[in-house]
């Protein structure tokens, strides 16, 4: 896949999946623009200082004006990939309104605002690709028992993806999402030491799915919520 000289925004690009994706994008020639919230995110980010990586501090991705300003500064935006979000495991009895709103802001509102800013930028540049990150419970809500707020927020990301894909198809913008299961990360292995880690999708495998959906080689796929479950 050829991303040479193409500008790509990756929210959540300093995280585990984000780093794997940024590696793939850089290997394919992309110029990566990555917003980050906490300076600690940069400590273990392997591409800090890379000549095709631009890092920008933002207080939150749920601030409409800040997100719009960030997107307006990126020239000729080709792709916008939205990994940033948050997870909370709690039964509904332990989930009050602030906890619900926190999940909606981190997962759905941030994705919506990035999509909105990306569409405006891509209309100016003649088209592009948007890839969101939902989650397995968005496609299988019963698996979201015990994490209802998270499930609702990610289901919203899936619905946003399908509706927006139809809305902007005529503008040459293809919108899709992936829906990962539990991914094979060091943090997840520590949290679930007795799980079958071999069955979990690897970060590089999940990143490869995103790379195709966001690439110029994807000419027809839109409105898809692609399960990336591995063997789990």
- Non-local (6+) Cβ contacts of 99 within 8 A are 88, 90, 149
Cβ(161)–Cβ(207) under 8 Å? no
Asked whether residue 150 is domain-assigned, the answer is yes
1 lies in some domain: no
120 found inside a domain: yes
In which domain, by residue range, is 82 found? 7-228
**Which residues does residue 11 pair with via DSSP β-bridges, in sequence order?**
82
Residue 98 lies in a domain: yes
Is residue 136 within 8 Å of residue 179, measured between CB atoms? yes
Q: What is the pLDDT of residues 22-69, one digit of tens each?
A: 999 999 999 999 999 999 999 999 999 999 999 999 999 999 999 999
Given a contact cutoff of 8 angstroms between Cβ atoms, the answer to whether 106 and 161 are in contact is: no
pLDDT digits (tens, 9 = 90+) for 207-216: 999 999 999 9
DSSP state of 176: E
Q: Does residue 45 fall inside a structural domain?
A: yes
The domain that contains 200 carries what CATH number?
3.40.50.720
pTM of the model as a whole: 0.97
Look at residue 93 in the predicted model and tell me its pLDDT: 98
Per-residue model confidence as pLDDT tens digits over 8-27: 999 999 999 999 999 999 99
The confidence score (pLDDT) of residue 179 equals 98
- Residue found under tokens 């000289």: 5
Per-residue pLDDT of 113-147, as tens digits, reads 999 999 999 999 999 999 999 999 999 999 999 99
Q: Please tell me the predicted confidence (pLDDT) of residue 143.
A: 96
User: Percentage helix, strand, coil, to 5, in the chain?
Assistant: 45, 20, 35
**What is the 3-state secondary structure of 93-109?**
HHCCHHHHHHHHHHHHH
215 within domain boundaries: yes
Distance CA 38, CA 148 (A): 26
Q: Is residue 2 included in any domain, yes or no? A: no
The total number of structural domains that make up the chain: 1
């Amino acid at each position: 896949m050829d991303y040479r000289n193409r500008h790509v925004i990756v929210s959540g690009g300093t995280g585990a999946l984000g780093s794997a994706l940024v590696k793939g994008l850089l290997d394919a020639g992309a110029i990566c623009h990555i917003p980050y919230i906490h300076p600690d995110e940069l400590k273990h980010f392997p591409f800090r200082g890379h000549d095709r990586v631009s890092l920008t501090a933002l207080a939150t991705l749920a601030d409409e004006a800040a997100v719009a300003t960030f997107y307006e500064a990126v020239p000729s935006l080709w792709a916008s990939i939205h990994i940033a979000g948050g997870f909370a495991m709690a039964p509904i009895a332990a989930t009050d309104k602030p906890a619900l709103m926190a999940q909606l802001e981190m997962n759905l509102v941030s994705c919506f605002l990035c999509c909105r800013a990306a569409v405006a930028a891509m209309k100016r540049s003649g088209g592009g690709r948007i890839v969101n990150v939902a989650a397995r419970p968005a496609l299988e809500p019963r698996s979201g028992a015990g994490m209802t707020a998270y499930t609702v927020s990610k289901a919203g990301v899936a619905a946003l993806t399908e509706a927006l894909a139809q809305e902007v198809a005529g503008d040459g913008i293809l919108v899709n999402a992936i829906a990962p299961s539990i991914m094979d990360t060091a943090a997840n292995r520590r949290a679930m030491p007795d799980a079958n880690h071999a069955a979990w999708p690897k970060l590089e495998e999940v990143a490869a799915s995103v790379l195709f959906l966001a690439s110029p080689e994807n000419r027809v796929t839109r409105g898809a919520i692609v399960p990336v479950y591995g063997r789990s």
